[in-house]
Structure 1
Amino acid sequence: MTAVAEQTIVDQVTLTIRNHVATVVIDRQHVLNAVDGTAQARLNEIWAQLEADPSVRAVVITGAGTRAFCVGADMSASAVDKTGLEYWAGLDPNGFGGLSLRTSLNIPVIARVNGYALGGGMEMVLGADIVVASETAKFGLTEPRVGRLALDGGIHQLVRRIPHTQAMGMLLTGRKADAAEMQSMGLVNEVVPAEELDAAVQRWVDQILACAPTSVRAVKQMVTQTGHLTAKEARGLRLPALMAALDSEDSAEGVRAFQEKRPPVWPGR
């Protein structure tokens, strides 16, 4: 008999930090970057690590390859054997991928959408701050087509992010929409040809890095923490990142740089 070598598929969620920018890549291309329990746990670990690292000023999240950003929960995993009620009872408080409902990450998150962003993948897009998509990207909350529901923020966030009838048109049909349509609804910031995706993402990163890190963190925290308040109520909150920004070295450096007619060199504190 001829021995057949066993092929092992290595699941990965990778984190790279370079020049104040973190890049998170879901690399499970054999299932279109669907997330299983192990990947979910790893993503939560990554977000917690980034929350504790003040040197990180922006995050880019994407999927490996060219076909998919993320198509949601891994339907081939044993977790889908749970009933709907069992699944609902075990939902992650931080949402799908540890991101879709996360309120403790004060770093801007850019979703680099390179292909399908479906189900939980679409929910992670809804958890991002800026969305840059390839022309070939497809978006959708397709759970009703397999008898499930977008419970990790998809239903509740979509109706808050785009016009009601547009959101319901997607939620009630489970249909997919292309990047241009999602941009017209206001969910996508920029749509570019696939070969220009990295350059477009870098432009957004560079614009974030041009701003004072303490100001950016304050903006993110203020938006995340005050969405349920009126503008007047929100202004009165003494949030930690706000108070830190108002008394920061960045604040002093920004004024000096303006007066001296030079680019600021941000201390980040």
Structure 2
Amino acid sequence: MSTTFITSEVSGQILTITLNRPQALNSLNAAACFELAAIFDDYQDNDELRVAIITGTGDRAFCAGHDLVDDFFEPMPESGWAGLSLRKGLHKPLIAAVNGLALGGGWEIAMMCDVVVADQRATFGLPEPKVGFAALGGGARILPHRVPYHIAMGLLLTGKSISAEKAAQLGLVNDVTEPGAVMAGAYRWAREMLTCSPKALYFSKQLAQASMEPDSLRGPLQSLEQELAGELAQSKDVREGIAAFMQKRPPVWTGH
């Protein structure tokens, strides 16, 4: 598969997906999201692949979210942000190897994975409100299921970041590794998964996902997420937030 912004590599039954925009802290533009969608389509359909690991190029960033400079308002693939947020039927394991900053959509990608391994230098945050947007790529929908409500809202309503250690204390990270060892840690988890029955893992994830967000709830929540995203995209504040970010100045909010 020919890609520009995402690389993928197969080793045995393990697929490694690497976000490859280091000049933009591995943030994703619309084209990168479509590339990821195609890669996850293949992973979902390819019986030879049993575990996938997703990481970022370099040691600065896993993913800094959606690129505010490059086509912020372009449409996403049918399977949503990063090809994951609206995806159905992916019951194979996903491991996030968080090698640095996981901000906004970057943290949302990690939330949509089943196991999160983080370099001890990694940080996590949902700073979208600081640029007039919201964590509508899955973050605001998923985080309150993962931690107590007040912890989730404290992060969602301030845009504050937390360390890998703090994320592990809150149960948001499975494993924190020494600097530079995150991929080794992720492969350890992948190899352990490969010792298990693939069908048993598939059914385990299917049931776990249904218990967290049954179809009767998932559909309406995703529809609301898309509706709110569309409304925010048309707001003056989101355009002001992006302009302020690019001009390196404080935004002037109007509430419109």
Shared fold, TM over 0.5: yes
List alignment gaps of at least 5 residues for structure 2: 215-256
Q: Does 1:118 align with 2:118?
A: no
The share of aligned pairs that are identical, in percent, is 37
CA distance in 2, matches of 1:40, 1:146: 21
Q: Which amino acid in the other structure matches residue 52 of structure 2?
A: V
The aligned counterpart of 1:171 is 156
> 1:218-253 CA deviation, whole Å, 9 max, x = no partner?
112222234345xxxxxxxxxxxxxxxxxxxxxxxx
List alignment gaps of at least 5 residues for structure 1: 1-9, 230-269
The structure number with the bigger radius of gyration is 1
CA distance in 1, matches of 2:76, 2:181: 36
The aligned counterpart of 1:131 is 116
> 1:119-166 CA deviation, whole Å, 9 max, x = no partner?
110110110000000010010011001111111111110111111111
Of 60, 65, 71, the residue aligned with 2:58 is 65
CA distance in 1, matches of 2:19, 2:76: 20
Q: Which amino acid in the other structure matches residue 55 of structure 1?
A: E
Q: Per-residue deviation at 1:93?
A: 5.0
Of 167, 170, 185, the residue aligned with 1:200 is 185
CA contact (8 A) 1:103 1:224 kept: no
CA distance in 1, matches of 2:121, 2:81: 23
TM (norm. structure 2) is 0.79
Q: Per-residue deviation at 1:91?
A: 5.3
CA distance in 2, matches of 1:182, 1:226: 23
Q: Which amino acid in the other structure matches residue 135 of structure 2?
A: A
- CA RMSD in angstroms, aligned pairs only: 1.6
Of 131, 142, 146, the residue aligned with 1:161 is 146
How many matched pairs?
212
TM (norm. structure 1) is 0.75
Of 20, 45, 48, the residue aligned with 1:27 is 20
CA contact (8 A) 2:145 2:212 kept: no
Q: Which amino acid in the other structure matches residue 18 of structure 2?
A: V
The aligned counterpart of 2:41 is 48
Q: Per-residue deviation at 1:92?
A: 4.8
Higher relative contact order (CA 8 A, sep 6+): 2
Q: Which amino acid in the other structure matches residue 162 of structure 1?
A: V
The aligned counterpart of 1:250 is none
Structure 1 pair 155/97, CA: closer, same or farther in 2 (3 Å)?
A: same
Structure 1 pair 170/140, CA: closer, same or farther in 2 (3 Å)?
A: same
Q: Which amino acid in the other structure matches residue 175 of structure 1?
A: K
Structure 1 pair 104/124, CA: closer, same or farther in 2 (3 Å)?
A: same
CA contact (8 A) 2:52 2:93 kept: yes
